[in-house]
């Protein structure tokens, strides 16, 4: 099992809440219903914890994290070859600052606690 871990930043000019609404309500369902999803074993959306209104705490550098699980690197690369994958990528342009996406593909974790 491998994982694609992506750190996401909202598109400039949008609020964190607008990002969340689109991510959960539009992008997530698009991912779930596309043909590329047949390669994805699990898709997780982790929103960043935002400071309370009026707080002096800075906003997080990223609005959220996605974690996608695949059986193998071959499946990861195969999902990008699906005919509707370009639609998924085009959708990311609608709500993400694609110049600031950070991602890594990881192998099985080493469990330290748990």
Residue 53 is predicted with a pLDDT of 84
Q: How many CB atoms lie within 10 A of CB 52?
A: 6
Residue 28 parent element (H or E): helix 28-33
**Tens digits of per-residue pLDDT, 11-45?**
999 999 999 999 999 999 999 999 999 999 999 99
**Domain regions of the chain by residue span:** 2-63+70-106
Question: Helix, strand, coil % (nearest 5) of the chain?
Answer: 40, 25, 35
**Fold for the domain defined by 2-63+70-106:** Alpha-Beta Plaits (3.30.70)
Strand order in the sheet with 102-106: 40-47, 64-70, 2-8, 102-106
**Tens digits of per-residue pLDDT, 32-81?**
999 999 999 999 999 999 888 888 999 999 999 999 999 999 999 999 99
């Amino acid at each position: 099992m491998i994982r694609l871990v992506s750190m996401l930043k909202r598109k400039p000019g949008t609020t964190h809440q607008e990002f969340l609404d689109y991510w959960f309500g539009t992008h997530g369902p698009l991912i779930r219903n596309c043909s590329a999803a047949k390669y994805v074993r699990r898709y997780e959306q982790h929103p960043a914890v935002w400071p309370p209104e009026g707080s002096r705490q800075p906003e997080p550098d990223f609005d959220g994290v996605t974690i996608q699980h695949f059986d193998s690197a071959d499946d990861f690369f195969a999902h990008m070859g699906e005919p509707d994958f370009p639609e998924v990528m085009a959708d990311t342009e609608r709500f993400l600052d694609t110049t600031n996406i950070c991602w890594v593909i990881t192998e099985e974790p080493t469990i330290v606690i748990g």
